[in-house]
Every structure is written in structure tokens, then in C-alpha cells.
Structure 1
Amino acid sequence: MTGGFFKVECPDCENEQIVFGKASSEVACAVCGTTLARPTGGEAEFTGEVVETVEAR
């Protein structure tokens, strides 16, 4: 499985969370529950700001 991990900042509470770039299910913020990423069948669509790439393969 190829893909990368990204640090995404929540638009509501500014929590930073690591998210897989090809997430197959919705990823919610661990603090407030806002959706950070939605699956699209390929690369995930991020609703928060991508702060940095943590790991790329």
C-alpha cells in the first residue's frame, strides 16, 4: 500500500492530527469531532489545513 501521512490542523479547534493520505473512511478530529478527511476512492479530501507531510512512501 503506497501513500503518505499528513499532519492536518482542525479548522475549528486547531488540534493537529496525523491522517493517512488515502483514508478509506471519514477521519474525525479527536478533540471536537469535526471531519478532517473524506474518502474519495483515491487520495483523501482534507477539510483542514495540511501542516506538513510526516511520511511519504
Structure 2
Amino acid sequence: MAGNFYQVKCPDCENEQVVFGKASTEVVCAVCGHVLVRPGGGKATIEGEVLETVEQRS
């Protein structure tokens, strides 16, 4: 499966979490519950600040 993993900072509590760029379900912050990623029919919509690409897969 091709896709990237990103380290994202939560806009509410500033927790940093690794998420998949093609997530098929909502991903919430493990600390405060804010939605970080929403599925978008392929590439997901990331709602936090992307700090870095952790791993690229092709």
C-alpha cells in the first residue's frame, strides 16, 4: 500500500502524533480528542500542523 506517515501537531493541545496520510477513518488526538485527520476518498484531510514526513512508502 502506497502512502505516507506524517507527524502532526494538534491545534488544541499541541500533542504530536503520527498519522497515515490516506486514513480511511477519522483519527483523533490521543490527549484531547480533537479530530486530526478526516477521510477524503483517497488522500485524507489533515487538520493539524504537519511537522514532518516520518516515512514514505511507494
Q: Provide the aligned length of Structure 1 versus Structure 2.
A: 57
Residue 8 of structure 1 deviates from its aligned partner by: 0.4
Residue 27 of structure 1 corresponds to: 27
Unaligned stretches of 5+ residues in structure 1: none
Q: Which runs of 5+ in 2 are unaligned?
A: none
Once residues 48 and 18 of structure 1 are traced to their aligned partners in structure 2, the CA distance between those partners, rounded to angstroms, is 11
TM-score using structure 2 length: 0.96
d(CA) in 1 for partners of 2:47 and 2:23? Answer: 13
CA–CA distance in structure 1, aligned partners of residues 44 and 13 of structure 2: 21
RMSD across aligned C-alpha pairs, in angstroms?
A: 0.4
Q: Distance in 2 between matches of 1:51 and 1:43?
A: 18
- Percentage of identical aligned residues: 68
Q: Match of 2:5?
A: 5
TM-score (norm 1): 0.98
Q: C-alpha distance in 2, partners of 1:42/1:52?
A: 20
